[in-house]
Structure 1
Amino acid sequence: MPDRAYPHTSLGEIIRRQRELAALPMRQLADAVGISNPYLSQIERGLREPSEAVLDAIAESLATTADALYTEAGYVEPETDDEPEAVSLLDAIKAAEELTPAQRRALAEVYRGFVDANAVRRRRKGA
């Protein structure tokens, strides 16, 4: 993974990208979270930072975790576990000719998100 400055991306950009990947209209996500559409818009544009409760509700609605969103935004540096299984799984994903390039990228991104979220969770439990 390339070196990056932390934080590199606004949390709102990550939330917007995840919402778009989930094909959720902004209004539908706002309703699911229990916030107004304008408030969600402000979060996505980086004008407002969500509270922990709102971020947890957003993450749950997007089928992810707040930790994964923070990690993707660069607020938490992911652990660099060089496990052989991780490398071989990513290699298998890259070599899967039955998938389109976009599907391989998406699958690898989901896998890395899970690995990063688990690393954050382990660090929080150890702290």
Structure 2
Amino acid sequence: MSDETEKPEPGETPRDVGGFIRDLRRNARISLRQLAQQAGVSNPYLSQIERGLRKPSAEVLAQLAHALRVSTPAMYLKAGLLDTKDNPGVLAAIATDPDLTVAQKQSLTQIYETFRRENARSKEENTDVDPVS
């Protein structure tokens, strides 16, 4: 019973990310065994992650994100691996919105990331050219 009252270290949210992964898996209607196989991790390890007993590495989170068809940044954000100054507001809102399906979350995240890349590229191109005054 002590691990039910045990709190994660500051900045760590293993129970939160585990619940997030479990919810995504259930919404996708795939078994723990299927997800473990698709992500390349063992069943017991995935079970421990979902129950908040283990904190997955960034690599495992990326594998799970790919298998669950969600963006890796959304998974990192939920796990507390992205800093709040990295514009997580939009990604966090998408990732945690209970009214969106997994597919909708994935689409919105991809669209948002595409817009950001395009804007960054456009900004680079505009700074490379000297404006004529």
Mark the runs of 5 or more structure 2 residues left unpaired by the alignment.
1-10, 91-97, 121-133
Amino acid at match of 2:51: R
Does the CA contact (< 8 Å) of 1:10 and 1:46 recur in 2?
Answer: yes
Q: Which residue of 2 aligns with 1:17?
A: 23
Deviation at 1:70, TM superposition (A): 3.0
Mark the runs of 5 or more structure 1 residues left unpaired by the alignment.
1-5, 82-103
Instruction: Provide closer, same or farther for how the CA distance between residues 70 and 113 of structure 1 changes in structure 2, counting only shifts above 3 A.
Output: farther
Amino acid at match of 2:66: E
| Partner deviation per Cα, 1:82-109 (whole Å, 9 max, x = no partner) | xxxxxxxxxxxxxxxxxxxxxx9225x7
Q: Does 1:36 align with 2:42?
A: yes
Q: Does 1:27 align with 2:33?
A: yes
Q: Which residue of 1 aligns with 2:124?
A: none
Amino acid at match of 2:75: L
Q: Does 1:105 align with 2:111?
A: no
Does the CA contact (< 8 Å) of 1:16 and 1:44 recur in 2?
Answer: yes
Does the CA contact (< 8 Å) of 1:72 and 1:113 recur in 2?
Answer: no
Q: What is the TM-score when the length of structure 1 is the normalising length?
A: 0.56
Amino acid at match of 1:110: K
> Secondary structure of 1:47's match?
coil
Does the CA contact (< 8 Å) of 1:11 and 1:44 recur in 2?
Answer: yes
The number of residue pairs the alignment matches comes to 94
Q: Does 1:56 align with 2:50?
A: no
- Give the 5 Å matches for 1:109-124: 110=105, 114=109, 118=113
Deviation at 1:65, TM superposition (A): 2.1
Deviation at 1:63, TM superposition (A): 0.4
Identity of aligned residues (%): 38
Calculate the aligned-residue CA RMSD, in Å: 3.6
